[in-house]
Each structure stands twice: as structure tokens, then as C-alpha cells.
Amino acid sequence: MSKLSIMFNEIQFLKDFHIQLNNIRVEKELEDLRIKYLGKKGLITAYIHNSRMLELDERKNFCRKINKIKKEIMLILNEKKIYFQNKYIQKNIDLQKIDISLPGSRNKIGCMHPITTTIYYIESIFTQLGFEIITDSLEIENEYYNFSALNIPIFHPARDRKDTFWFNSNILLRTQTSNMQIHVIEKRNLPIKIIVPGKVYRKDYDQTHSPMFHQIEGLIIDQNINFANLKWIISNFLKIFFNEYVKIRFRSSYFPFTVLSAEVDIMRDDNTWLEILGCGMVHPNILQRFDIDTTKYSGIAFGIGVERILMLNYRINDLRTFTRNDLRFLKQFKQGRYFA
């Protein structure tokens, strides 16, 4: 028997391997052990290389034995590698595990702006009264629809550049939602019964005025429409909106596009009156401009300032707070009455 065969003890060789394997704690150490036994300069490779000095028959038997051990070690190392991989995966799973006994973390839920909810609420009231909502309102307008077609004369102060945002001598940011009256009359057959919510623009900025604010325009053109119909609509709207008894009054006023014209006031807690909207009978000149027979048809119109009645309803003193994006202010309306 050759010296190499005597030196190689299969049982002791595997015993030494298992002792070293059991001392491994991380995957990197496992790779070092694989290289020590199976690498190009490893123990098994060295035994196979040195087997060339053996006789042919003895060499065959020795190589058969060493290859069997090599396969066994490879299998053990693969199993140990899978063990480390599974351990790593399980560790990550444990780190990501949700402890259902912990108190939940609540996401902050946003809410609609109080102006938006107020507009929706007003729309819901008027749709119950049979009004159609027109949403395609035009904020950039020309002089004809914003002024001339509404019977507003050329010398009217609203046309002045210190009061209105003009792009040029003809195009402007509309000063009222009444411009939509003309667009609707041009395109639709009678009868007409609409409301138009939208933004309007004027050069004002103080506690009760803003360069941009919201109006809701109302228009009815039909047979046998009179001022009594207008008073009934406005009175019922205000009582529904404020959800309580409110004292109101119609005060004679002047608007170029209505005659008779009135402003509607509501009594505040301190027994003073506050004007909240304007209204009146559509001026016959406007109807005749579009060949509407004024002996047969008549119309009523009104314009509601959304911020004004919202301020009154919640007793807010400064209109500018609605556009300052102060979450401390806006979050108060999260549980608001409108579509809550």
C-alpha cells in the first residue's frame, strides 16, 4: 500500500470537516470552508493531484473514494448555504412583521375647502327648486358679454381700469357671473332656468373684499314670471341655507341689467342689517336684444356672493382667511354641515 493511501483517513477527514462546519456562524465563513476543501488549491484537489504517483489500480480506487467524499462535502455545503439564506430571509420577514397589538397610526384625511362645500350645498338647494347647473362658465371675457350686452353703459365706473382687470381694451377678467346670462340666452331656447357658479375678479382687497371671489348667478326666463316669484325663491333659499328662521328684507336698489332691482339684507346677531345678494327683473332691453317678446316673456335674475353668506353663517370677520391656506383655520370645517 502506498504512503498516500496510508496518510489519507476517510473517517478522520470527514470528522475534521464536520468539526469546522459546526463552528461556522455566518455565510462568509462557509465560503472560506468551501474554498479550503473544494477550491483549486484545496485539500481534495491536492489529494487528487498527488494520486498520480499511485499505481493505476490503486489510483482508481483512491480517486473513487476521494470523489465520493467530494460529492458528500458539496452536498453538505449546499445544504448549509440554503440554511443561511433561509435564516437571512426569515430575519428580514421578522423585521418587517406588523405587530397587530400596537395602536394604529392614523393618516390625516383631507377635506374640501369650505367655499367648495358651500357652493355644492347651494347647488343642491337650487336643483331641488328645478334649476339646471351650468359649469362651463367663462372667466376670461370680452367687453360685450361682461358689460354692453348687460346694459352697462360706457361711462359706468365698473369699466374703469382701477376697478377691473383688463388684458387690453376688449378682453378682461369678468367682474360678475352675469356674463353667462348672455351666453345662455344666445344658445338656448326658452324657457331658461339656470344657476351658474364661478369665480369673478375685481380690484378690491380688504377685510370684506378680495381680488378673486365666487358668485352664483341665477336666471329664469319664462312666461308669467314676476317679482313675487323672485321673492319666494330668495326667501326660501336663505331659510334652507341657514337652517333656521332668518329675518330678511328686500331693499330697492339699482343694477343696469335689472328693473325692478333689489338688494337683499339679512339681520345679524347685533340687530344690524348686512347685504348679501342682489336681484331683480331682467331688463327688457336685454330680452329685446335677442328678439325675445317682452309682452309674452319676462325674467328674473340674482347673484349670490358665496364668501359673503359663508362669512355670515360661520361669523367670520375677515374674508381673506379663506385664501391664506392656514390649515388651523381650514380644518375647522372638516366636520362642517355641508354634505358632512
- DSSP string spanning 260-282? EEEEEEEE-TTS-EEEEEEEEEE
Handedness of CA 134, 139, 144, 148 (dihedral sign): positive
Q: Are 139 and 174 in contact, with CB atoms under 8 Å apart? A: yes
Closest listed residue to residue 284, CA positions, set 91, 151, 106, 102: 151
Query: pTM for this one?
Result: 0.65
Phi, psi dihedral angles at 105 (to 5 degrees): -95, 125
Q: Angle CA(79)–CA(85)–CA(89) in degrees, nearest 5?
A: 140
Q: Which residues contact 167 (CB under 8 A, 6 or more apart)?
A: 140, 173
pLDDT (0 to 100) of residue 5: 54
- For the chain, where are the E strands, in sequence order? 132-133, 140-142, 171-173, 192-201, 212-223, 248-252, 258-267, 273-282, 297-305
Would you state the cell numbers that stand for residue 271, as one nine-digit string? 340687530
Instruction: Round to the nearest angstrom and report the end-to-end CA distance of the chain.
Output: 97
Phi, psi dihedral angles at 36 (to 5 degrees): -60, -35
pLDDT (0 to 100) of residue 302: 94
Q: If you write DSSP's letter for every residue of 28-50 in order, what string do you get?
A: HHHHHHHHHHHSTTSHHHHHHHH
Rounded Cα distance between 118 and 252, Å, is 27
Looking at 3.40.50.970, 3.40.80.10, 3.30.930.10, 2.70.70.10, the CATH number of the domain 114-333 comes to 3.30.930.10
pLDDT (0 to 100) of residue 299: 93
Please tell me what DSSP assigns to residue 160.
S
pLDDT (0 to 100) of residue 338: 43
pLDDT in 10s for each residue of the chain, 340 residues:
455 554 567 777 777 888 888 888 888 888 888 888 888 888 888 877 777 777 777 778 878 888 888 888 888 888 888 888 888 888 888 788 777 787 777 777 777 888 888 999 999 999 999 999 998 778 999 999 999 888 888 888 888 888 889 999 899 999 989 989 999 999 889 999 999 999 999 887 776 677 888 999 999 999 999 999 999 999 999 988 887 778 889 999 998 889 999 999 888 778 888 888 999 999 999 999 999 999 999 999 999 989 888 888 888 888 788 888 888 888 787 654 443 3
Could you tell me the residue ranges of all domains in the chain? 3-96, 114-333
Tell me the CA distances in angstroms from 254 to 153, 155, 278, 313, one per residue in order.
13, 16, 9, 26
Q: Is 199 exposed, middle or buried (0-12, 13-18, 19+ CB in 10 A)?
A: middle
Amino acid at the residue 307: E
> Angle between the 306-314 and 114-128 helix axes, to the nearest 10 degrees?
100
Q: Is cis: bond before 260, omega within 30 of 0?
A: yes
Tell me the CA distances in angstroms from 272 to 239, 243, 249, one per residue in order.
18, 20, 12
